[in-house]
A and B are shown apart, each in its own frame.
Chain A
């Protein structure tokens, strides 16, 4: 974590660095926030799902890869941290620089750890959703004279 900013008394916002322990907290928040939406989560992470710890490890690994500037570089993650005595991370946001067209990863080039982290996530249906997101981005931004995905 490198950047800390002022905020109202009980919470503060911090920037997260790849590889920091907070990345796993971001994964935990993401799962907790999205798990109630089973309609979507079942597509993103189909059942049967492994134990929570394994899911957290996998998601944290993926987030770290993004933060570290892999395929989708320029990620920035922020967390809101509860102040006072026992601190905990309560929220997360991450931004990326759009433009890099989403592609299915080449699993054959991954090591075992990477492959395991991607398993169960990169489904065809999920990939189609990303394609739909990017087609919309192209359509809207190009109509406004901005470049779309490349």
Chain B
């Protein structure tokens, strides 16, 4: 059997697909968190965030201990850090300025 330490991309894609079929895949991605401008500063953002994180932290939930991922605005990084998200580098793309901080809240009990 030929084993490559760096399998080609198509091979990795197949592995991911098979992994998807066989695992629970309960990772969560926070796509949008937005508060109406006139209500900002009233801690509604944390409340909305905590609502979903509580499901992840609930051992009886179907989302129990799921890792969570997001790309933050610079202004919100502190909030996410306070909820267990870790900096994992910046996402940069042409035409998007300084880029966006990527943050991961690891699977609890893991890493």
Contact = CB atoms under 8 A, between A and B. Distances in A.
Interface of A: 5, 7-8, 11, 13, 29-30, 32-34, 36, 39-40, 43, 75-76, 78-80, 82, 90-99, 125, 128-129, 131-133, 136-137, 139-141, 144, 146-150
Given A91-B45, A93-B34, A97-B26, 15 more contacts: A11-B47, A32-B36, A33-B36, A43-B95, A75-B31, A76-B52, A90-B39, A90-B44, A91-B35, A92-B34, A95-B29, A96-B31, A129-B91, A146-B67, A147-B15
A5 B48 CA distance: 11
A39 B97 contact: yes
A124 to B, nearest CB: 10
A150 B32 contact: no
Main secondary structure of the interface of A (DSSP, over half): mixed
A66 to B, nearest CB: 8
B49 interface: yes
B78 interface: no
Contact of A149 (B16, B30, B32, B44): B16
A80 B52 CA distance: 13
Given A30-B32, A136-B89, A93 B107 contact: no
Contact of B37 (A36, A97, A150): A36
